[in-house]
Every structure is written in structure tokens, then in C-alpha cells.
Structure 1
Amino acid sequence: MSTTDALAFPPLLWGEEVTTDAFDHACQRALLGCDAGLVAYRITADVLQGALVFAPEVPLKQALSMLPLCGVGFQNALGVMAPPEVSVHLDWDGGIRINGAACGRFRCMASTSDPAQVPDWLVIGFTLPLIPESDRPGDTPDQTSLFAEGCAEVQPPALLEAWARHTLNWVNRWEDEGSRALHTDWRALAQDMGEEVTQNGLSGTFLGVDEDFGMLLRDGETTHLIPLTTLLDPAP
């Protein structure tokens, strides 16, 4: 029986279960002109993948706020379902952190890489490992999986549904109220804020983000702005 029968998505969203990479599938569907709201997903014994197709009405520079927005939606979803001692944080570049260790990541692709152009489509997707990739997880203490962090009771299909609901709620808030609330919630979840980091070949102090979530990186006397567009996967 397909898990599609058991999944319930909020209005305006619908699911397509795939056996290949969910992000790649969503990008191909978007490239062929599918409507916004498609949630491609793949659920196996060892991984959960979800990818959402957007049809932005603003330039790419602003539209890529959907990357941190989808991350906040994920934290909201898992935060309700996981035990209270489990912490979820977000790397600026899309990485997911559970109890401080890397646990999957978000990716993004759009029809254009021009920050000033309104893209025909935008896809944000995530991959979440459910079990350790190796039999020796102690060899990679900075990498983890959902079930290894005390979340064995979390049901991946329910987590995917909750991610879709919370993400859609945030999209509605972002459209109606602007980005202030999203900035506030994302900053509370941001990994390494105020710490020394390396991004795009630059090293310095992660000061925060600009209004479009571009990274502000202080290197000595210089503050660099690294836009979210640098994180885009190349479109086919």
C-alpha cells in the first residue's frame, strides 16, 4: 500500500510519493510546469525526503527566504513531536542540527540564479537520515540521525505532514505580515551565530543576516554579505 493514501496535506498542497530523490523529482516537475504546492516525498527505512514547489511572485533575492522559512517549519514540526530534551537548530546554509550534530540538510533550486528576476519556480527540499549511515557512528560524532537522538517514536510520515502544515502557515504569515516574525524565530534557531565560521571560502564572525537572510560575515575590518543565491543548486 502506498503511503500516499495515509498522508494528509493542507489545502493548496498535494503529495507525490517517489522512489527516486524527492528534490530532483520536484525540480523536474517544476521545470515541466507543474503548479505550485507539489510536495514530492520519499520515505524509506533509513531516510525521509520532502521537497516543496513554489511559484514566487517576488524577485529571487526575496523568494529565497523560503529556505530558512522551510527550516523553521521543520523545527516547529519536529519540536512538537520529539522529546522535550531534543534540540533542533539550523545552519545558515541549510544544514539541520539535532542536539548539536549535523542531521541532514535543506537544498534549493530555482529557474534562474539572477537575484533581481522573479523565478518561474523555486524548489526547497530536505533530506533527513533516520538511522546512522554506518555501523560505527562513534567515528563521526558530528554526524547523527533522527532515531539516534531519542526520536524513535517520531513517525516519518507524520513529521512530513507536520512540516508541510507548519511551512504553509509560515508562508501565509510571511505574505501577510512580512519577514519580521520569521527573522525573530529563525535567529533563535540559528547555529553558530556570533561564532567563527567559514562560508564560501571566507572565514570570520557570523554576525547575523540582512533583511533577505544574506549572511553577514565579519573578517577583521571588513563585513562580507553572502547572499542566499550562492546556495542554489544549478538548474538543469
Structure 2
Amino acid sequence: MSESPQFPPLFTGKALPKHTDPFDKAVSRAIAGVDSGTIFYSEAVDTLRAALVLAPETPLEEAIQAVYVAQIGLAESLGALAPPEVPVHFAWPDRIKVNGAVCGGVRFAADVSDPKAHPDWLVIGIEVPFMHLGGEPGENPNQTCLYEEGCVDITPMALLESWSRHTLLWLTYFMDSGFARVHNEWRPRCDTLGETISQPRSGVFVGLDEKGRMLLRQGVMTETVSLIEFAEHL
């Protein structure tokens, strides 16, 4: 694997010093008008941190579904690079789980918050720890890192390359076919589906609706919870 990651067509990479937050940089550059498809990434070796800038052509309630695309891209890239016995799952709305423990996640922001408004930009960031930054391994059984799960042969830049390729592929599916195909791929990877959950709210996680909103049953009532509620406010 080359030191500088190679990105697929339509994506370009911008390397950042390891102490610079790629998500914050991506948001500031998106506001300034950077090209869609730009991925800002940290050169740190202990954690993969990257953020993709998109310029959606749909209202926010549809554009935000690309968050699921980024999650699928991450799960598929880990599946391709990690040992075959390492399972990767999602916990709604934004966490990635490896072997049942949280191992990073996604974050996202847009320049609008109204579901019907058309955003000028959408930034989706990923963060995956490769090694523990503090404390002893196993100290928190609900948190893990890739090296602790036997993924010692993966590097952040290799995972970044793979994530960019898988994410572009699924973005193409998403733009061509809509959310249904994305939903069908995402659903089996969600390990809290059908379970009683307490976060982000209490209830039974029934599934997702056609707009990608959580269906949460509380007694005889079912409410919808949108990813938009968990976008970072600028």
C-alpha cells in the first residue's frame, strides 16, 4: 500500500496534519465552496479520521440518507480487509461496532436543518480507532479498537482507500436506485433492530421507514426519529 492513499474517480484527497480535525476542516472548506467529492483526512497512524464533502441535489431529508451509505462503505471495507471472523455492525444513528463493541462511528453536518430545504453541502465524517489512546485494553468492554480485534495488518490509509471506493460505489447505487437498496444492505448489519433500546430514546427499534427515519415503538404509539436531529449544529 502506498503512503499516499489512492482515491477512485470523482473523489480527491486532502491530507492534514495529525492534530487537525478533518471534519472541522471539511465543514469550513465546504462553506467556502470546495469541490464535492473532496475527502479530508488525518495522517495519524493510531486512528482513521476522514470527512467527505458532498453537494446534494435533493432535499435534506433525502440527502441525509447518504450517512447510511458511508456506514455501509465502512462496513464493507472492514469486511474486505479484516479477518473473516470479525463481524461489523451498526448501532443507530452513528456508531460502528466490531465484535459487539463500539469501534468508532460517523458524524455529519449540513448547511440547512429543514428536511425540505436543499443543502448546498453535506459533510460526512468517519472515525475508527486502531489502537487505544488511553487506559488499558479491555478496560471498557463496550469500546474497542481494530488492533484489539486482531486487525493488526490494516493501516488507516488502507482502510481510507477501501472506504472511499466502497462509499463511491454505494453512492452510485443510491443515486441510481434510491434508498431501498441502501436500506436492504444496511438493515441486516444493525444489531439493535427489533430490540428495546434506551438511546437515543427509549422504545423498541422497529426499523427504518422509506425516508431512512427510525421507527420507534413506545407502547401503542410509533414515532419517527430522523438522522437530521443528530447532525452537528454549526
TM category, shorter: over 0.9
Task: State, as a whole percentage, how many aligned pairs show the same letter.
Answer: 42
Partner of 1:204: 203
Aligned-pair distance for 1:50?
Answer: 1.1
Match of 1:233 in 2: 232
Which residue of structure 2 aligns with residue 188 of structure 1? 188
- Deviation of residue 195 (structure 1)? 0.6
Indicate the residue corresponding to 1:54 in structure 2: 54
Give the gaps of 5 or more residues in structure 1.
none
TM-score (normalizing by structure 2): 0.96
The answer on 1:121 being equivalent to 2:127 is: no
CA apart distance, 1:162? 0.7
RMSD: 1.4
2:125 & 2:159 partners in 1: Cα distance?
14
Which residue of the other structure, out of 10, 13, 31, is the alignment partner of 2:11? Answer: 13
**Mapped contact 1:48–1:129 kept (Cα < 8 A):** yes
Alignment partners' CA distance in 2, 1:45 and 1:135: 18
Shift in Å at residue 5 of structure 1? 6.2
- Contact preservation (8 Å) 1:4, 1:17: no
The runs of at least 4 consecutive aligned structure 1 residues that moved more than 2 Å come to: 3-6
Tell me how far apart the structure 1 counterparts of residues 2 and 221 of structure 2 sit (CA, whole Å): 50
Deviations 1:135-156 (A, max 9, x none): 4233201000011101001122
CA contact (8 A) 2:64 2:227 kept: yes
Q: Tell me the TM-score normalised to structure 1 length.
A: 0.95
Partner of 2:219: 220
Deviation of the 1:89 alpha carbon: 0.6
Aligned residues: 232
Q: What aligned pairs does 1:1-236 form with structure 2 within 5 A after superposition?
A: 6-19=4-17, 20-200=20-200, 202-235=201-234
Letter in 1 for 2:77: A
SS of residue in 2 equivalent to 1:199 = coil
Name structure 2 gaps, 5 residues minimum: none
Deviations 1:171-190 (A, max 9, x none): 11111122221111100111
- Amino acid paired to 1:207: V
Distance 2:88 2:181 in 1: 18
